[in-house]
């Protein structure tokens, strides 16, 4: 059983016991761990970015992905800086490396960068309609014709925002 994975019920019917950094902790629905509410019905930015991997995960990372990911990460963290080692930082490094690699099968993909977005965003939050608009604006501004193609990163974020607005 991996660290942080629920092991067995704890003190209440909805609680569970998890091992975190070698010690047992009781977790409750709605509790906050790492700045994210547990067992929430709302979709976080990290989850929306991971969902985007289903549609664009095989694409090599390019500059247009970098700016979109940077805006999404900024929305999630509330920081308007690139987090060292974060998603946007990794996307920039991947895009720079991909620019000099000639074989597509050796390029870093969007899935490589966003596949573990939930774990890599230091302070993830639920996606809002405002977040979706910011991400879409970045994707359109940088990508040019991406607004004509469905299934982009912004589409996953917009879908998450719509689902989060439902009661």
Lowest mean pLDDT among 30-34, 36-40, 49-53, 109-113: 30-34
Mean pLDDT computed over 98-107: 94
Tokens of 133: 């608009």
Q: What is the DSSP string of the chain?
A: --TT-EEEE-SSTT-EEEEETTEEEEE-TT-EETTEETT-SSPBHHHHHHHHHHHHTTSBP-HHHHHHHHHHHHHHH--SSPPTTSHHHHHHHHHHHHHH---GGGSPBHHHHHTTHHHH-TT--B--HHHHHHHHHHHHHHHSGGGGSSS-HHHHHHHHHHHHH--
Q: d(Cα 76, Cα 78) in Å, to the nearest integer? A: 6
Residue 39: pLDDT band with limits 50, 70, 90: low
Tokens of 45: 């930015």
Quote the percentage of the chain above a pLDDT of 70. Answer: 70
Helix (H, G, I), strand (E, B) or coil at 104: helix
């Amino acid at each position: 059983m991996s660290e942080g994975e629920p092991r067995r019920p704890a003190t209440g019917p909805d609680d569970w016991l998890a091992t975190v950094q070698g010690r047992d902790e009781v977790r409750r629905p709605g509790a906050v761990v790492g700045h994210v509410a547990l067992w929430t019905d709302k979709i976080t930015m990290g989850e929306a970015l991971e969902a985007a991997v289903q549609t664009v995960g095989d694409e090599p990372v390019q500059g247009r992905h970098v700016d979109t990911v940077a805006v999404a990460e900024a929305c999630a963290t509330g920081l308007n800086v690139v987090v060292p080692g974060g998603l946007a930082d990794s996307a920039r490094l991947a895009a720079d490396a991909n620019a000099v690699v000639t074989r597509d099968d050796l390029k870093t993909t969007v899935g490589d960068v966003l596949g573990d977005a939930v774990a890599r965003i230091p302070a993830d939050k639920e996606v809002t309609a405002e977040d979706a608009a910011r991400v879409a604006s970045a994707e359109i501004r940088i990508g040019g014709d991406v607004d004509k193609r469905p299934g982009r990163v912004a589409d996953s974020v917009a879908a998450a925002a719509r689902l989060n607005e439902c009661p």
